[in-house]
Structure 1
Amino acid sequence: MNSRQIIANAVIVALGGFIFGLDAALISGTVKFITMEFGLSDLEIGAVVSAPGFGVLFALLVTGQICNAFGRRTTLLIISFLYLFSAVFSVIAFSFETLVAARFIGGLAFTSLSVAAMYIGEVAPPQWRGKLVSMIQINIVVGLSAAYFANYGIVQLSKSDLTWVHAIALDTATWRWMLAVEILPAIMWFILLFKIPRSPRWLVMQGRDDEALLVMQSMMPMELARKELANVRLNLQKDGGASASVKESFKILFSSRVRTAALVGVTIAIVQQITGINAIMFYAPTVFEQVGIGSDAAFLQAAIVGTISVFFTVLAILLIDKLGRRPLIVWGLAWAAISLFACYLGFSSATYEVNEQALLQLKGFSELSALNQLEGVVYQSDIAFKHALQDTVGIEVAKQFEGEILQASTTMNGILVLVGISSFIAAFHFSIGPVMWVLFSEIFPTRVRGVAIPAFALIASIVSYLVQQFFPWQLSNMGAADIFLFYTVCGVVGFIVLFKLMPETKNKSIEEIEAFFASKQLAKGL
């Protein structure tokens, strides 16, 4: 194997995950700034943050057809351009509506994850596929981590008295500089994508066998390349030749040969998102403010979470081809559910009181002088406390100083919650985070992959969009405790289903995995 060529192609393609991570997490630091600048409600905040999640729903409807018609590489080039256009448009957005539109366009590019998994799965040898596809996830978490550190650094600089900070409006246009961080990496990815070859399996589906053989020869010895080409041809002939149409693809997915694979795919697509990962990652500073650690500490804690994400994703990549996909998914999901339950326990036992000490901490903010009306009243839930704050100082002021007020007034087991959130992040990035994309790249037949992978990514994206859109509203109307209890229950249900259904796929070729699922259905029939 030409390991250098294979790894180089995978690294370039997986950079789409890095851009995704940046795009997804940079917005987390802007929430308070754009809320103040545009006067946003909870649902409007949700609309800004979740706009990419809404955009990707539309993109995924046509991604399969574009991948099959123009190829995986061309599709990735289109996606990279959309990221770049969206980043520039977001920076210059002059209203709530234009910011939503800019981020919606960026969401059209979020299909980079499914297309990258498809491409790497098609060019990687079976024994390397787990590690190489998992590189998408490590790029995501490196992008997330980079965004959190960038946001933290920009916030700290914006408070300084340095001349150049004022000169470039870092103190007055803080959120715009946060979103501008994405521009340079997006340009670099667009340029690098011209260096990768087309997918050999896609070339075979187009009847371009000679080109496919040349690509395979660049990655493996001649004899092995010819054998691989023959296997791909044979399996395509069994499935009917060229890539299937959308209608044919869904018919195949619901057939007995592929039904179990489809059920595993839809389950993990839902579970990966409904356990709340994007609520925590996309609203990280907001989530940590609820613990009462203050705004600055919340930004720092978000950066720490990014570091945890990177470490456990790297660990998952090192172990995925040794331990296998099933143990990482099943037991990692159990670990995630236990961690979420710890967060529920921490928030459910919290109390909130504006006492004399709290008033002393907040006396520097003239806008909060009316808080003395609440002195001595103990609230057992964050919902009741926030409603009382809004009635006393007004909705806008309550939102503006929410972090400072919670820091001064909250009594809770903050360590339990912080450990629970950090543990959940670790569990997610050790299991269902990276392994979902590995499974998507493995369990679907070559002929339907162009439609199947984006279709199941669409399911994950719909759930992700709903989680992001309604999280601010849930935080104001359900409270943190009930939100984490809901995530816990979803994790437990997912654990039970996947424990029963999910097979082991490590060290098997795409064709061998297809044969395995078909044989399981045949055995059932017999």
Structure 2
Amino acid sequence: MAGRKIRGVANGGGLRAGLYKGRTTSYVILACIVAACGGLIFGYEVGISGGMTSMPAFLEKFNFHSRDDDSPFYYCQNEDQRLTIFTSSLYLAGIAASLLASHVTKIYGRRLSILCGGLCSLVGAVLSGAAQYLPMLILGRIMHGIGLGFGNQAVPLYLSEMAPAKIRGALNIMFQLAITMGILCANLINYGSLQIRDWGWRLSLGLAGVPASLMTMGGFFLPETPNSLIERGRYEEARRLLTKIRGTEEVDAEYEDIKEASELAVTNPFKAIFQRKNRPQLVMATMMPFFQQFTGINAIMFYAPVLFQKLGFGTDASLYSAVITGAVNVMATLVAITFVDKWGRRALFLEAGVQMFFTQVAIGLIFAIITPLSKPFAVIVVIVICIYVSSFAWSWGPLGWLIPSEIFTLETRSVGQGINVAVNFLFTFVIAQAFLAMLCHMTYGIFLFFAAWVLVMSLFVYFFLPETKSVPIEEMTSVWRRHWYWKRFVPDEDPPALPSYKRDRY
């Protein structure tokens, strides 16, 4: 038998997917909806950060300053580095927290990381809303960052492991839908808070405690995933849960796949993830979040109020315009939920790549040729930005979280997602720090800069990202084994057969 190829399950082959039984139960839908609420915090923080830069009372309270009057370009806006630190400190904390969360998630389960994320974000909301001095404000942002590090690491994993393979994409994208709803809510709250001259900014920051409370309650009441239970040796509990969430007693195939994946796991996932056989997943876990940030979306979302204000809409109308982009974001994410498991991940990526490229080029050319913008052209820019946002919202927005959460083997899944979140936060921090200076000095060239990156990432997807639609999460290695490039890294044979699988291997 030594020379025969093994039809593995946990590490590939894809031959047992048809044996997976069950249906999409209301129990698993409800659990995924509750868990996805973790995305509300992330979205709310992204939206709130940009709104703060348009609130005079907030700027005055912490002595932030802006240089609008004698700037050579109307693109130039706030250059106070302390203001960009306010925005970016959250992500520095998130980098460290996401790597710590990968350990907690593997050893203690996904639920505990979700709970830790909610509690830390709740503390951050209290500190930020009550801040009297800049250090207290920054401390609140750091606590938010720790909460996001835990939440963003655990929630996508939770969703991918709980969901049936055939609708894993749609359920996982609920996380991104929650993010977009958080952004929209933040923009609406910022618009209302601006009318409260003295303490409206406290309301905006303090209301982050609402999604944090939802996430905390979810951490208390959500069930653990079957994958995590088996990973920690709680086999009977895992089988009972799997029976409940799949709505059938016929869960042997899926249960044994998860169990085999656990038995093949190594004790040091940080070392395992850098092994040659895990090279494809590691590349995706670093390149996907890198590319996600270099679409330019967070730059637009962070500073949408600033951009629209400088386009001539005025302070109030700038936040109103940001609400429009937020609504487009939500609606387009629903498109992704509808079609990701029908058309596949690659189709959404590639279509959006074309749309994002041409809209970025269009914005750059308008700014290059028509300066200063008249009101009609400013409206055109807003429309083009909305078209751009819609394409991001059904591609790199949700799929940037979905792909890394579904491609790793069980042994490296927690660490891989931790790396994914850390890289995401790192480049979000880089963009947040550099965007204002880039916008000031590159002017319209910044949009051409991001357009070039969109072209690069679209080519990367076309050549290097295989389709993962409907593939069971513990059979994902088969996808890499069949890919024209990645198959050279993934072994052709699985590890030795396990006793419980001898009947299925030949």
Q: TM-score range by the shorter chain?
A: 0.7 to 0.9
The equivalent of 1:101 in structure 2 is 139
Q: Choose from 28, 43, 49 the match for 1:27.
A: 49
CA deviation digits over 1:413-453, x for unaligned, max 9?
Answer: 32332122111110100111111222112111111001001
Q: Choose from 358, 380, 397 the match for 1:433.
A: 397
CA deviation digits over 1:444-475, x for unaligned, max 9?
Answer: 11110010011022112111111112222333
Q: Choose from 285, 305, 322 the match for 1:302.
A: 322
In the aligned structure 2, how far is the partner of 1:305 from the partner of 1:247? Answer: 39
1:45 partner letter: L
Q: Choose from 423, 437, 440 the match for 1:473.
A: 437
In the aligned structure 1, how far is the partner of 2:487 from the partner of 2:51? Answer: 52
Cα distance, 1:411 vs. partner? 7.3
Q: Does the CA-based 8 Å contact 2:24-2:164 persist in structure 1?
A: no
The equivalent of 2:186 in structure 1 is 147
In the aligned structure 2, how far is the partner of 1:189 from the partner of 1:99? Answer: 22
In the aligned structure 2, how far is the partner of 1:300 from the partner of 1:261? Answer: 41
Q: Choose from 197, 201, 205 the match for 1:171.
A: 197
In the aligned structure 1, how far is the partner of 2:304 from the partner of 2:229? Answer: 43
Cα gap change, 1:266 to 1:185, in 2 (>3 Å): closer
Q: Percent identity?
A: 26
Q: How does 1:453-472 map to 2 (within 5 A)?
A: 453-472=417-436
1:267 partner letter: M
Q: Does the CA-based 8 Å contact 1:258-1:518 persist in structure 2?
A: no
Q: Does the CA-based 8 Å contact 1:441-1:453 persist in structure 2?
A: yes
The equivalent of 2:116 in structure 1 is 78
Q: Choose from 273, 276, 280 the match for 1:250.
A: 273
Specify the structure having the higher radius of gyration (Cα). 1
Q: How does 1:105-184 map to 2 (within 5 A)?
A: 105-111=143-149, 112-155=151-194, 158=195, 170-184=196-210
Q: Does the CA-based 8 Å contact 1:19-1:182 persist in structure 2?
A: yes
Cα distance, 1:266 vs. partner? 2.5
Q: Choose from 192, 200, 225 the match for 2:226.
A: 200
Q: Choose from 36, 40, 54 the match for 1:18.
A: 40
SS in 1 for 2:37: helix
Q: Choose from 447, 454, 473 the match for 1:510.
A: 473
The equivalent of 1:225 in structure 2 is 251
Q: Which is worse superposed, 20-29 or 428-437?
A: 20-29
Q: Choose from 288, 296, 306 the match for 1:286.
A: 306
Q: Does the CA-based 8 Å contact 2:162-2:225 persist in structure 1?
A: yes
Do structure 1's residue 56 and structure 2's residue 94 form an aligned pair? yes
In the aligned structure 2, how far is the partner of 1:303 from the partner of 1:437? Answer: 23
In the aligned structure 1, how far is the partner of 2:378 from the partner of 2:345? Answer: 34
2:224 partner letter: R
Do structure 1's residue 37 and structure 2's residue 75 form an aligned pair? no
In the aligned structure 2, how far is the partner of 1:510 from the partner of 1:188? Answer: 28
Do structure 1's residue 323 and structure 2's residue 361 form an aligned pair? no
Q: Which is worse superposed, 205-214 or 411-420?
A: 411-420
Q: Does the CA-based 8 Å contact 1:337-1:489 persist in structure 2?
A: yes
The equivalent of 1:452 in structure 2 is 416
2:63 partner letter: G
2:59 partner letter: T
Unaligned runs of at least 5 residues, structure 1: 159-169, 353-408
CA deviation digits over 1:175-231, x for unaligned, max 9?
Answer: 111112222332233123322111211111111111111211221245332331111
1:108 partner letter: I
Q: How does 1:282-431 map to 2 (within 5 A)?
A: 282-352=302-372, 413-431=377-395
SS in 1 for 2:64: coil
CA deviation digits over 1:16-54, x for unaligned, max 9?
Answer: 001211122122222133333322252211111112112
Unaligned runs of at least 5 residues, structure 2: 1-22, 66-78, 493-506
Cα distance, 1:246 vs. partner? 4.0
Q: Does the CA-based 8 Å contact 1:258-1:517 persist in structure 2?
A: no
Q: Which is worse superposed, 186-195 or 494-503?
A: 186-195
In the aligned structure 1, how far is the partner of 2:91 from the partner of 2:175? Answer: 18
SS in 2 for 1:503: coil
Q: Does the CA-based 8 Å contact 1:83-1:186 persist in structure 2?
A: yes
SS in 1 for 2:312: coil
CA deviation digits over 1:216-260, x for unaligned, max 9?
Answer: 1221245332331111112333xx336x424323233xx1x3322
Cα gap change, 1:95 to 1:483, in 2 (>3 Å): farther
Cα distance, 1:121 vs. partner? 0.8
CA deviation digits over 1:372-409, x for unaligned, max 9?
Answer: xxxxxxxxxxxxxxxxxxxxxxxxxxxxxxxxxxxxx8
CA deviation digits over 1:285-306, x for unaligned, max 9?
Answer: 0121232222221111000111
Q: Does the CA-based 8 Å contact 2:46-2:183 persist in structure 1?
A: yes
Q: Does the CA-based 8 Å contact 1:12-1:193 persist in structure 2?
A: no
In the aligned structure 2, how far is the partner of 1:260 from the partner of 1:351? Answer: 46
2:364 partner letter: Y
CA RMSD of aligned residues (A): 2.0
TM value normalised by structure 2: 0.85
Q: Does the CA-based 8 Å contact 1:66-1:75 persist in structure 2?
A: yes
In the aligned structure 2, how far is the partner of 1:241 from the partner of 1:45? Answer: 45
In the aligned structure 1, how far is the partner of 2:434 from the partner of 2:63? Answer: 18
In the aligned structure 1, how far is the partner of 2:173 from the partner of 2:331? Answer: 13
In the aligned structure 2, how far is the partner of 1:523 from the partner of 1:22? Answer: 42
The equivalent of 2:85 in structure 1 is 47
Q: Does the CA-based 8 Å contact 1:150-1:178 persist in structure 2?
A: yes
Q: Choose from 235, 239, 247 the match for 2:261.
A: 235
